[in-house]
Structure 1
Amino acid sequence: MTVPDPTETDALRRAYRAFPSGVTAVCALRDGAPIGIAASSFVTVSMDPPLVAVCVQHTSTTWPLLAARPRLGLSVLGSTHDRACRQIASKTGDRFAGIEYTVTDAGAVLLHDAAAWLDCTVHEIVPAGDHDLALLRVEAMETHDHVGPLVFHGSRLHALPAPPRCTEKR
């Protein structure tokens, strides 16, 4: 077996894209308009305190604007968000044209038809190679169990069906 050098970028990308991940949109209101990024590097971190994290490239021009906002809306993208994900991730154009969203009183932007909403504050930003690891504290949340998630795998977006309703009594 030949093992590629992990410093070889193309080989490393091939290895990373073998791992499926959910897709999120991290958004807020700035000067009366929504701004946001798409992030597939989302992870739950802690229950106490309630923390999640996203990784953001140092080259992002939107992240510094988001990181300075008092509240961030993190939408776990739903199965119908393929177009919205690509649009929010784009470098040009109106990233929110035709996308329905709700703005909280604190300025977090939450996309309609998401599998879940997390209303967050920035807890800590940790430099990590060519990215920042943004630890976000969950201040409020809402789940939408009837919505299937959008998944990023093999450099493509895939829609998954909503999970079956749990009938188990607790």
Structure 2
Amino acid sequence: MGMPEAQPRIASVAAAPDFDAMHFRRTLSQFATGVTVITTRASNESVAAGAPPFIGITASSFNSVSLDPPLVLWSMATRANSLPMFRDGTHYIINVLSASQLDLCQRFATLKGDRFAGVDYRLSATGLPILSNALAWFECHNRSRYDEGDHVIFVGEVERCGVLDGKDGPLIFQGGQFTTTAPLDL
């Protein structure tokens, strides 16, 4: 009988990364993600100062969490100007963009001012914008928020959701490029 092999020691804290931020970003980019626009109501103070009544941001950090209760998550940079409105608001809408909505993705990622000007939408049960022709949407109660690193993770409890049965596939972001899905020949 031989001696048992020594087991590696498991540290109670994470080791310092052996890579830089650019390498980490490039590595993360290999994971394909869908693209969403998250919408909510602007604060009363900003509307009183002449800002539009709604705000929206492009986010690719969306994921499911639980079926029972129905929970989803997404994250937002702590440096984002609109963070207080999402953090303090009671509800938001997650709009899953179709491949034909690249213009909306770019508009809500970069445009200053009224991002909703000329955008077709309808109001949800809580009075928030659901973008027309989004492949799917989730109306969420702002259940919890977690500060982690340079982002805040939002967990939403889905109160209502809908899906559009369209021919257009989802807008996908991978490797620094936008694409869509295509079936594999199996």
TM-score (norm 1): 0.85
Query: What is the aligned counterpart of 2:96 among 55, 70, 76?
Result: 76
Q: For residues 181 and 53 of structure 2, what CA distance do their matches in structure 1 show?
A: 31
Counterpart position of 1:21: 33
Q: Is contact 1:73–1:110 with CA below 8 Å preserved after alignment?
A: yes
Please, which of 9, 12, 18 is the counterpart of residue 21 of structure 2? 9
Match of 2:179 in 1: 158
The answer for the alignment partner of 1:108 in structure 2 is 128
**Would the aligned equivalents of 2:41 and 2:85 in 1 still touch at CA under 8 Å?**
no
Q: Which has the larger radius of gyration?
A: 2
Question: Is 2:54 aligned against 1:34?
Answer: yes
Q: Does 1:57 align with 2:69?
A: no
- Measured on the aligned residues, the alpha-carbon RMSD in Å equals 1.8
Deviation of the 1:91 alpha carbon:
5.4
Gaps of 5+ in 1: 164-170
Task: Verify: 1:92 aligned to 2:104, yes or no.
Answer: no
CA 1:91–1:60 in structure 2 vs 1: closer, same or farther (change >3 Å)?
Answer: farther
Q: Aligned partners of 2:140 and 2:62: how far apart in 1?
A: 13
Tell me which residue corresponds to 2:151.
131
- The 4+ residue runs of structure 1 with deviation greater than 6 A are none
AA aligned to 2:150 is D
Give, in whole Å, the separation in 2 of the partners of 1:97 and 1:80: 18
Pairing 1:66–2:66 present: no
Aligned length: 158
Q: CA deviation at 1:122?
A: 0.7
Q: Is the 8 A contact 1:25 1:76 kept in 2?
A: yes
Deviates more, 1:123-132 or 1:60-69: 60-69
Aligned position for 2:12: none
Instruction: Could you tell me which runs of 5 or more consecutive residues in structure 2 were left unpaired when the two chains were aligned.
Output: 1-16
Higher helix share: 2
C-alpha offsets along residues 55-74 of structure 1, whole Å, 9 cap, x if unaligned?
Answer: 11101111221232232111
Q: The residue matched to 2:100 in structure 1 has which SS?
A: coil
Tell me the distance in 1 between the aligned counterparts of 2:83 and 2:178.
22
Alignment deviations for residues 3-41 of structure 1 (CA, whole Å, 9 cap, x no partner): x933x0111110011110001111023346220111101
* Helix, strand or coil at the partner of 1:81: helix
* Percent of pairs with identical residues: 33
CA distance in 2 between counterparts of 1:156 and 1:98 reads 26
Structure with more of its chain in strand, by fraction? 1
